Amino acid sequence: MTRHGPMNEFCWMDLKTRDPSGTAVFFSSVLGWEFAVDEEDWRRAVKISAGGERIGGVSDLAQPVYPPGTPPHIAYYLAVDDVDHRTALAVANGAQVVVPPFDAGDQGRIATLIDPVGAVLSLWRPRGFAGWPASATADGTPHHAVLACEDPERAREFYARTTGTPLGRAVFREAGPAATGTATGSAPQWQLALTVDDPDAVIRRARAHGPGLVTLAGKGALRVVRLRSPEGLTFLIQGRDLIQGRDPVQAPVPGRAPGPRPDR
């Protein structure tokens, strides 16, 4: 199986959780995601689907492979042409290796890094498994990734040098509430922007699960909707009407001319 979309784009996510059942209940009721055991996987891993398209997986942090105290988080995978070569370039440009390159069975080759601004990601060379379809349009499917940090230009340059080209479907923003709804000083992390048909319905469903699970910043086309599960797994939510036909990299940023933005 080859990559459904271009290389140098994020292609997969894995929800690392201490409460797999509760995580499935929350995201299925709020976003309409489907959670099911992958019968074709010898590990019987749990897969996440939206509109019939596989978009991610779930890992139980209670498994012995994870060190005690590992916090819930979302692991993101960036499709590259050569994991070993790109890992070496990443290190040369200031990254730290967390997990050196290794083969994940016949599915692909992977390495996990911390980039120079402090965000964690995995490089993925697809073989038997390609990741989510790049053209997925169903409700709740990935659109682009956002990295909010203190030095977005440094981050942008790092990824361009590591992959050999500007990163596809990725937005680099200065940290703060205007970027992702998070406070300035928060640890940098990649966040995924999901497209939905009705953001207000998502907000209502999330609030039914308890207070504090939705953070709003800005208004109208500049609104940031940040969805957080009870464990703290977060996504950005955007209306499909605001991003139809737009390139997220070309979207305006705070302080420039106003207009619709893909992660608002």
Which pLDDT belongs to residue 241? Answer: 75
On the question of pLDDT at 185 being above 70, the answer is no
DSSP the chain: ---SS-SSSEEEEEEEES-HHHHHHHHHHHH--EEEE-TTSTT--EEEEETTEEEEEEEETTSTTSPTTPPPEEEEEEE-S-HHHHHHHHHHTT-EEEEEEEEETTTEEEEEEE-TTS-EEEEEEESS---S-TT--STTEEEEEEEEES-HHHHHHHHHHHHSSPPTTEEEEESSHHHHSPPTTPPP-EEEEEEES-HHHHHHHHHTT-TTSEEEES-GGG-EEEEE-TT--EEEEEEHHHHTT--GGGS--TTS-----TT-
DSSP 201-231: HHHHHHHTT-TTSEEEES-GGG-EEEEE-TT
Domains of the chain: 10-126 (3.10.180.10), 141-250 (3.10.180.10)
On the question of pLDDT at 180 being above 80, the answer is no
| Mean pLDDT in residue range 62-67 | 93
Distance CA 73, CA 122 (A): 13
Which pLDDT belongs to residue 248? Answer: 52
On the question of pLDDT at 44 being above 50, the answer is yes
Indicate the pLDDT class of residue 79, thresholds 50, 70 and 90. Answer: very high
HSE (side-chain half, CA atoms, 13 Å) at 119: 29
Which pLDDT belongs to residue 199? Answer: 94
* C-alpha to C-alpha distances, 201 to 140, 180, 207, nearest whole angstrom: 12, 20, 10
Question: pLDDT of 150-173, one tens digit each?
Answer: 999 999 999 999 999 999 899 999
Which pLDDT belongs to residue 256? Answer: 34
Whole-number average pLDDT of the chain: 86
